[in-house]
Amino acid sequence: MTPEQIRTTLDAYVDALAQADRNAWVELFAPDAVQIDPVGTPANVGRDAIRAFWDRAMGLADTIVFDVHHLHVCGDEAAMVFTGTVRLGDGGMVFEAVDIIEFDDAGQITQLRAYWDAGAMRPLG
Amino acid sequence: MTPEQIRTTLDAYVDALAQADRNAWVELFAPDAVQIDPVGTPANVGRDAIRAFWDRAMGLADTIVFDVHHLHVCGDEAAMVFTGTVRLGDGGMVFEAVDIIEFDDAGQITQLRAYWDAGAMRPLG
């Protein structure tokens, strides 16, 4: 994995969220990937569990836009610092977060750990 | 560990760096802690190795100031998003980074993983 490949995968990750494209998003994960969002809650292991997380946590949103402030690529890992904006009907919320993401040689995500504080979410607008 | 205890430990961590207090900094780590800075380089395991990292990487700086933008506490972990400013003589450098830090029940740091990109460092001023 080159830093460019990692950046390309994460661009696709952000695009899939913005377009609410569940399949494109799930397929960026390796079949046996581990996803934890937020850290401190149980892990979702494998694409079926990750797809179920989408349905539970993200499927209700109209759009989820990540405004990426920094992307630090270190070896086969990356730290993505972003502001997330979730829109739902006339409202929504904004949150600050960090995703720590690990990749395999094929460029798929093997682990994603999301750090954010539900108490620090703020209403949109 | 409560979020408040984690915040107190990380305040002490940032203070120790700002004051160039190696002993205070090293003692925030558990005796068998794992420190990786940046991710992708070999781990420093245990206080002796972590102290040697200080001497190698930070001991030459006059001051190292962390301007913390976000601290996300999730379970017994935290993600600290900051701008680091290293001053050395009349010059120095500035970098953006994320530290992912894990704690034990006594509030000591058991693992610290630093994400930053040497290529994105910029000269101070």
Burial of B10 (0-12, 13-18, 19+ CB in 10 A): buried
Q: What is the domain partition of chain A in residue ranges?
A: 3-115
Closest residue of B to A120, CA-based? B72
Lowest mean pLDDT among A15-19, A75-79, B59-63, B94-98: B59-63
Query: If you write DSSP's letter for every residue of A57-104 in order, what string do you get?
Result: IITT-SEEEEEEEEEEEETTEEEEEEEEEEEETTEEEEEEEEEEEEE-
CB atoms within 10 A of CB B28: 19
pLDDT value at residue A122: 95
User: pLDDT digit string (tens) for A48-65?
Assistant: 999 999 999 888 888 899
Q: What is the mean pLDDT of residues B99-119?
A: 95
pTM of the model: 0.95
Q: Is the pLDDT of residue A22 over 80?
A: yes
Give me the total of CB pairs closer than 8 Å, taking one residue from chain A and one from chain B. 69
Residue B29 — very low, low, confident or very high, per pLDDT cuts 50/70/90? very high
Among A39, A40, A81, select the one facing B98 at the smallest CB separation: A81
Longest CA–CA span in chain B (Å) reads 42
Distance CA A95, CA A117 (A): 8
Q: Do B39 and A81 touch (CB under 8 A)?
A: no
- Classify domain B3-115 at the CATH class level: alpha beta
Give me the pLDDT at residue A102, please.
98
Asked whether the beta carbons of residue B39 and residue A75 sit closer than 8 angstroms, the reply is yes
